[in-house]
Amino acid sequence: MSFRSMSVVDSLDALTLEEHSAKASQRKSKSANRHSNTAGRERRPVKEFEEYKRISCELCGEEDSSKWIMVEPKVHSENEMMFSVSLPGTGDYECSKTGLRWETNTKTIISYRYGSWKKDVSMMNSDLQICGPLFDFHVKGQVTAIHLPHFLCLKGCTPKDELKIIHVKDGNYSLMNPSAINGSHVELKAPSFSLLSVVISKVSSRLFPVHTLAMIYRTRMVGELTLHVYFVPNECSIIKAVNEQESGAMKIEKPPQIKSLSYGKTYFLTSPANVNILPPAINFCYLRSDQRQQYCEVYSQDENASIELKLRPEKKSDPLWVTLLRPMELQVPPKVPLTANLAVEFINRHKKSIIERLGVIDPYLRHLLEEKVINEDEEEEIRINPKRTRRNETLVRMVMKKGPHAQEQLYRAMETHDPFLVKDLQ
């Protein structure tokens, strides 16, 4: 599978695709040179939003995706759920963050966001099963076709009569037949834009399992080993919801794809290791991104033992997913020697991710008060914000204005209260 790639900037008007690619390469080269002398171990890039994960399914077959030009959208909202792209002209484009695809024949500007099934769709028929994210679009230009991502495993079939595109406007919806269907997307030619997604009848959904990902996190309690293991549809807004639900934990990167699961069926998480798993089974179902996602908790008193995990269907012994977690992957990150300059570099480099991912703010405020970085009036100024990200943003900006010592103390508070977040950003 190969993709041509481009990123998107404000001034695409005067740029050809080739010119823009050359300038993007120059920017990357300059950025690499600028950070080549950074002290400490190699840093992974910040993951502000999970990239759309392309499923390789032996049942669905391999899709030829070479014609799609990969575009990097601008992210506009504080919770990173609103995007825009400026497409320079005729072409076939794919959003790297959401998996959305567009065919255009003129310069087109597209703004889009993840919609809310709870807020944006009133009284949806209970016989319908969601099988893709809900998107809200505003388009300036012309899109000749849109390709909406879905997470069903079609097993090489083309269920045109079962799979529908739901079009939502003013809270009401209508169902449309797709123009074409493949293993990852549903196409609609000459679309009219508002809220769009992919659905299927619940009766038909039993015929098609769901492309599913495993997500594993270790809680930050030191001295014992507790894991949260999730099995979720391959849907970016749900993946992001899980990441936010586990914002204070360490994500353990393992191959995420498992054999497809079916709605309404029961699956058991087992291990030959000496661990407790609660609950030992899950009933696989779709939970909206604004709902709390279900998980299995795995507990071990031995932090230094390897843990093998297997997921199997009820009444069957063959596993659908197997992974081995080694002690090195589960270690609590050690504290690293810190200087004020490194703290300033860390806070400045990761400001956006800290604002987005910092959890409960109380221990940070207590630490900063004790170190006389902030006073009680400033604490109140931070707490008065109703949203978590707004509180975090006020805190980070206040600390940055106070200089290197204040930033060092914020880093030390993060190192104490959220070491996994510090490790993930380093």
pLDDT digits (tens, 9 = 90+) for 252-288: 988 887 888 999 899 999 999 899 999 999 999 999 8
pLDDT in tens, 165-207: 999 888 788 899 999 998 889 999 998 888 999 999 888 878 8
Give span(s): CATH 2.60.40.2660, the chain: 212-330
Q: Using CB atoms within 10 A of its CB, is residue 58 exposed (0-12), middle (13-18) or buried (19+)?
A: exposed
- What pLDDT, on the 0 to 100 scale, is given for residue 51? 62
Contact 314, 290 (CB under 8 A): no
pLDDT in tens, 117-156: 888 887 677 788 999 999 999 999 999 999 999 999 887 6
Distance separating alpha carbons of residues 97 and 113, to the nearest angstrom: 11
Give span(s): CATH 1.10.533.10, the chain: 340-425
DSSP letters along 262-320, please? -TT-EEEEE-SSS-EEESSEEE-----TTSPPP-EEEEES-TTS-EEEEEEETT--S-S
Distance separating alpha carbons of residues 88 and 86, to the nearest angstrom: 6
Contact 257, 232 (CB under 8 A): no
Report residue 52 as tokens: 């759309």
Distance separating alpha carbons of residues 316 and 284, to the nearest angstrom: 16
Is residue 181 within a helix (H) or strand (E), and if so which, with residue range?
Answer: strand 180-181
Distance separating alpha carbons of residues 75 and 72, to the nearest angstrom: 9
CATH of 340-425, one of 3.30.70.120, 1.10.533.10, 1.20.210.10, 3.20.20.70: 1.10.533.10
CATH of 212-330, one of 3.30.565.10, 2.60.40.2660, 3.40.50.300, 3.30.530.20: 2.60.40.2660
Give span(s): CATH 2.60.220.30, the chain: 69-206
CATH architecture for segment(s) 69-206: Sandwich (2.60)
pLDDT in tens, 304-353: 889 999 999 998 889 999 999 998 888 866 655 556 678 888 888 899 88
